[in-house]
Structure 1
Amino acid sequence: MATTTAPPDLTVQTSEGTVRGTLADGVRTWRGIPYAAPPTGEARLRRPRPVQPWKGTLDAAHYGPVPPQERGLPSMGAGRKTPMDEDCLTINVTAPLHNAPPRPVLVYFYGGAFTIGAASSPAYDGRNLVKHGDVVYVCMNYRLGALGWMDFRRYSTPGRPFDVNVGLADQVAALRWVQRNIAGFGGDPDNVTVFGESAGGMSITALMCVPSAEGFFHRAFVQSSAPATAYGPGLPEKWAGTLMGLMGVREQDAPDALATLSAQRLVEAVGRLTRRVTPESEPGARAVAPVVDGEFLPLHPIDAFRAGKAHRIPLVIGNMFREGALFDRVQDILPTTVERIDTMFARTEPELKDQVLAAYPGYPARRAAVDVGGDAVFWLPSVQVAEAHSAHAPTWSYRFDYAPRMANLLGMGATHAMDVPAVFGNYDDGVGRFLTLAGGRRTAVSVGNRFRGALLRFARTGSPGLWPGYNTGTRTTKIFDSTDRVMLDPHRARREAWNGYRGFR
């Protein structure tokens, strides 16, 4: 007797209304689902508010507009014709063809220095994760730049208050939506793994220290975070004033300006602030970042991890071999010159300068200076998180050393963001395709399969497998390369030289 298979269920009832998805390339997708009310009008620069339920069925066939940002390559978030709007708080779900016993859920936070990025970027297409990993994949938009990551509370008035950490609060609202609704898409709300790269990784290490996010995710896989990138009090207020000055806005006019200025005007001013001002005045700091406000984010993340007050969930955290090399060539915002490094130490821990720089043979040569900047911003605080969290919850450390031939030809090696096509298995287009144009595709795919396999095992079991956990005795670290290996305490001399460094806190 012939058997028939029920058609995939594309209509799902969410807590706000019914959504209908699409079927393509062997997966089901739902795109552009609102998870919070539009953050516009009086809701601009305020914490996200609940969505008003809708009537009928929402057609979830298309991505929502991307958050306001500078336009560039579509793979970075916003191409020349990409729809863009402040009304951007939408979430996307990709799931296997049929619901089965609830599947692990992977929630991705995109990078982009908190100023660019979007869930619709083809770089973050989760189809390979879903098809080969048997998981449910989620990615959401969150507010960027001044509209999401700056502190304008000094300009609040009784009639026009401004909140802080609204971009971080967007992410919490999205995770809350996942808890309420993911079962309808075949996901397990009790098995949610968050993962993210760069600003996405920073978001996760901050969210692990946000009390209102507790219980919304159960595991964290963190790529190239800069966990020390959170500030307050002092610097965020200063940067807000600098931004107003860059736009020619007087102090007394700031409340009205923040309520009425176009998003494009704010985007342009943030670009000047983050590329021209802070790299020289506070090298290594980011003017758009989580704010230690004493309430939503009560403690600096490094301090929270050390005090055991971060959410005690399994954590995988790691970095690229040379994080700073990308910024030296593409986005000149790190302390990768002698002048910026001198300023960085003068503004933070001047007594450590000679000790740290002695651990970088060849300094002040350019390569050594680039490594100082990359280590200060990315590697060192990631090590600090790993060593602190390992005292309270299972923790694993990795380093991604593999560089496709093109990356070596460009003089960057295994640098920032080159693990993104690896974790998604997307080497057929965009950055992944470019990196393999000069050859080495087979090896790149193989390394990516192993790296992605660690993420998927972690999501299923709570352990990435294949290498021991991290502790301050051995500091065991997995090295992903053309041939993987395990090392004990990589860069020990550098780590010890940086001991006591706190940065711009």
Structure 2
Amino acid sequence: MRALLCIVAASLLSTSVAIAETISGPEVTTASGKLHGVKEDGLAVFRGIPYALPPVGERRWQPPAPQTAWEGARDAIDFGPACLQPEPRSASIYAEKYPAMSEDCLTLNVWAPEDARNAPVFVWIHGGALTSGSSRVPMYDGAALAQSGLVVVSINYRLGMLGYFAHAALSAESPEGVSGNYGLLDQIAALQWVQRNISAFGGNPENVTIAGESAGALSVMYLMVAPAARELFHRAIAQSAYMVTAPALKEKVYGQPPMEEVGSWLMDKLGAKANDMAALRAMDAAELINASSKTGYFPFVAVDGKVVPRQLVESFDRGEQAPVPMIAGFNSGEIRSLRFLLPPAPADAKAYEASIRKGYGELADTFLQHYPATNMEESMLAATRDAMYGWTAERLVARQSALDVPAYLYYFDHSYTSADDSGLHGFHAMEIPYIFGTAERTPPRWPKVPEDEVNSSMSAAMLGYWSSFARSGVPRAEKHPEWPPFAAGESYMHFAETARADKHLLPGVFELHEKVVCLRRAGGEIAWNWNVGVIAPPLPGEVKDCP
């Protein structure tokens, strides 16, 4: 019903006329007022559009409030500030320097063909572990996708302590008795803004695809199960998603403390008085972000029974997720650029095998078959990758297929010399510039993508598949092979030197990790994704109880 009202509102409050051309540039009229953008390469581009009121002062740690109307025309030429986050590690290949960061950061950006009429809409949700990132990252520039006929939207959302802080005092303020998940609520508010306003840019509010990578893909999954997001989108793309154990808001689950308890712990670490939210809201936001990051606090979505009804695995098992067509996949070298996810290596092959036998019991022989001791480093990289990203991707497409909607699996194994020489073959997020057509706009320490036919062809293929999927729900790319749905014999698209369709990705690997998750879920005391390989605790229960 909420989505229906949004669509009705869009028809009443937004103009269905194409973007107007004025002396000062393209202009649109939204529900909140007029916006002046810029004309770039045949596109009308609008940046830094506020979709909610600034979450500052008393609105800190509150659900986003709809943006109020403004007088006259507002310039939408420059990106808004990135949401507050710790300074990036300079050695990271993902590190970006932003000209501005602020608590007042709930903005989005739109790239639209000047002649767009009822065009499909592609909404990008950036990654960054719910701690960092921004819609202004040059690699996320939406121009190439928009030139393929899409209206492209990229969004900011609250991060870290400002986006995912839960506490009993905050829950008491809420009519629903919950707290945390503010960053996820921001994403929902952005999608509601799309429903109200995107027709003014030539977009179709009834043809919206949400897409994201890493924490953006995690967000896509939570949007798929969030009741408030239902019917706000019609297709989903999850690149390197991770369906990991989530903490609950008020109770201990799977060995994780409740997020309200974590919030009390964090307040103590910050030297704040218990339950004194007024004092905490009065503290400088940048100081809060930096201080909280130094405590070891890890922001995450909380299962609160309202915004997030239950664990992702349970929601997808019950078929409660949005029944929308989906693309999901992962990269061959996910962990090569995320080595902090690896446990310490055992002293030798004998110690490695002993650890696996202790942790995996009856499944140890199967585990060692896929991840042998003969090459511990590669086995540890692959095991962590498969337990988090590979298992999640295949689970997503299998569960969507079970709802009788098309779902498409991919495996990104493409690379090039500078990445391989750095030990980063197929690394985490490596596919992004191919999809956006932004190989020349990667972060400073990113291995530079060669300007050659192989990489140009790969970008044309991936951009083509993604934009086709946003248009029709079927990924197609001119001069590239047909991408069959997963339901057609466990099919997938293999992006290596070229794109080719194949079947049965990594046979037996998904089944192994699904059994591990099944046993840990049944036991109820162990998180199912963070204890992989040599640090796995002994499996609870009987293997025969899990298919």
**Which TM-score bucket, shorter chain as reference?**
0.7 to 0.9
Q: Which residue of structure 1 lines up, in the alignment, with residue 101 of structure 2? A: 84
Query: How far apart, in 2, do the equivalents of 1:211 and 1:91 lie?
Result: 23
Q: 1:240: which partner in 2?
A: 263
Flag the 1:64–1:301 CA change in 2: closer, same or farther, 3 A.
same
- The answer for the alignment partner of 2:401 in structure 1 is 390
1:396–1:468 contact (8 Å) kept in structure 2: yes
> Residue 11 of structure 1: CA displacement?
1.4
1:475 aligns with 2:490: yes
Q: What is the one-letter code of the residue matched to 2:223?
A: L
Contact 2:94-2:443 at 8 Å conserved across structures = no
Give CA-to-partner distance per residue, 1:44-88, whole Å, 9 cap, x none.
111101112111111111111110012347995851x62111111
Change over 3 Å in CA distance of 1:374–1:247 after alignment to 2: farther
How far, CA to CA, are the matches of 2:269 and 2:299 in structure 1? 15
Match of 2:512 in 1: 497
Query: What is the DSSP-based 3-state SS (H/G/I as helix, E as strand, rest coil) of the residue aligned with 1:104?
Result: strand
Distance 2:189 2:93 in 1: 25
Residue 462 (str. 1) matches residue 485 (str. 2) = no
Report what 2:337 is aligned to: 326
The match for 2:433 among 411, 414, 421 is 421
One-letter amino acid matched to 1:226? Y
Counterparts of 1:184-263 in structure 2 under 5 Å? 184-228=200-244, 230-232=246-248, 233-234=251-252, 235=256, 236-237=258-259, 238-249=261-272, 252=274, 255-256=277-278, 258-263=280-285
| Letter matched to residue 302 of structure 1 | V
Going from structure 1 to structure 2, the CA distance change for 1:149 and 1:355 (only over 3 Å counts) comes to farther
1:407 is the counterpart of 2:419: yes
For 2:498, give the aligned amino acid: T
Q: Distance in 2 between matches of 1:433 and 1:96?
A: 32
Distance in 2, Cα, partners of 1:11 & 1:77: 34
CA contact (8 A) 2:325 2:400 kept: no
Partner of residue 132, structure 2 = 116
- Residue ranges of structure 1 left out of the alignment (5+ in a row): 1-5, 278-286
Find the aligned partners of 2:373 and 2:424 in 1 and give their Cα distance: 18
- Partner Cα distance (2:444, 2:81) in 1: 24
Match of 2:47 in 1: 31
**In structure 1, distance between residues paired with 2:246 and 2:82:** 24
Counterpart-to-counterpart distance in 1, 2:240 and 2:114: 32
User: Partner of 1:12: helix, strand, or coil?
Assistant: strand
Following superposition, the deviation at residue 173 of structure 1 comes to 0.3
When the two structures are aligned, how many residues end up with a matched partner? 478
The offset of 1:249, in angstroms, is 4.2
Superposition TM-score, scaled by structure 1 size: 0.86
Aligned match of 2:59: 43
- The whole-number CA distance in structure 2 between the counterparts of 1:486 and 1:401 is 13
User: Residues of 2 paired with 1:51 and 1:268: CA distance?
Assistant: 28
1:256-405 aligned at under 5 Å gives the runs: 256=278, 258-273=280-295, 287-328=298-339, 332-335=340-343, 337=345, 355-362=366-373, 365-392=376-403, 393-405=405-417
Equivalent residue for 1:144, pick from 140, 143, 159:
159
Give how far 1:175 is off. Answer: 0.3
- Which amino acid in 2 is paired with 1:48? P
Aligned-residue sequence identity (percent) comes to 32
Displacement of 1:434: 4.7
CA contact (8 A) 1:116 1:144 kept: yes
AA matched with 1:165: N
Structure 1 residues 182 and 155: alpha-carbon distance in aligned structure 2, compared to 1, 3 A threshold: closer
Kindly indicate whether the alpha-carbon contact (under 8 Å) linking 1:76 and 1:116 is maintained by their aligned counterparts in 2: no
- Match of 2:462? 451
Q: Which amino acid aligns with 2:460?
A: N
Of 411, 433, 447, 1:435 maps to 447
Q: Distance in 2 between matches of 1:294 and 1:164?
A: 12
Name the structure 2 match of 1:3: none
Q: CA deviation at 1:38?
A: 0.8
The Cα of 1:248 is off from its aligned counterpart by: 4.1
Please list the CA deviations of residues 161-190 of structure 1 after superposition, one character each: whole Å capped at 9, or x if unmatched: 972211000000000000110000011111
Unmatched segments (≥5 aa) in structure 2? 1-19, 477-481, 521-526, 529-547
User: What RMSD over aligned residues (CA atoms) do the two structures have, in Å?
Assistant: 3.1
Distance 2:186 2:428 in 1: 25
One-letter amino acid of the structure 2 residue matched with residue 82 of structure 1: P
**Counterpart Cα distance in 2 of 1:351 and 1:249:** 49
Change (3 A) 1:21 1:371: same
The answer (yes or no) to whether the contact 1:227–1:385 under 8 Å persists in 2 is: no
